Amino acid sequence: MERMFLRFRTLLLAGACALTLAGCASSVQPEIQRLPERVELNGVPFFRGETYQSGPGTLASMLSQQGIAITPGLLDKPLHLPGAEAKLQQNMLTLAREYGMVVYPLDGNLSALLTQVAAGYPVMVRYTEGSAFWAEPRYAVLAGYNRHKQTVLLRAGMNRRLLMDFAKFESAWSNAGYWAVLIQGPTQVPAQVDRQRWLKAADELARAGQESAAARATKALSAN
């Protein structure tokens, strides 16, 4: 009798665990469930630092990923730092275009970001760091995720591998306005590309004085 009771209890516990795991899996967006279970873009450069909301370091990582020899310190002057902190985000995107890069904004949902990471493209994001009493925006590179553990991996501030669970990241990301962009070479068409969005980004590249790069971006879309 005791043996039957122990077996019954074991089955109950196993069933409870299975339901818990199923609940966790079902809480993930269906688009994310279709992605590879784990991706980490190990080749994404990292520049340690927290000055200017980690903006120069994050931009340097994205540009270095594209083969541009750069460091955060070399970006301060073209970003008009110190002095233009209020225009940091705008100036970073302008500068990326001046380097011949396509700045492609992403939708405000986690699956849109992880889809690009799964395709091999790091994502530049802004999120809020702190608490209810003190918080400020930070910039980081989303360079990986683990679907089973429901975590993202960021190159952020002083941390080369900052792990954050999906819910915490989405909350911090939403508090900073769901801002996320790709900084792509002209021929690097994003996964599941929005054609009009890419063409608009190419036009912005042309207006930044990079007509040749913009033409290559347009041609790459036609060939995609």
Model confidence over 3-34: pLDDT tens digits?
A: 544 454 444 444 444 444 444 444 788 999 99
**Res. 132 pLDDT band, cuts 50 70 90:** low
What are the beta bridge partners of residue 180? 125
- Angstrom distance (rounded) from CA 164 to CA 22: 21
CA distances (Å), 165 to each of 60, 110, 193, 218, in order? 25, 12, 26, 37
pLDDT, one tens digit per residue, over 155-213 is 999 999 999 999 999 999 999 999 999 999 999 999 999 999 999 999 999 999 999 99
pTM attached to this predicted model = 0.87
d(CA 220, CA 213): 10
Residue 112 DSSP SS3: helix
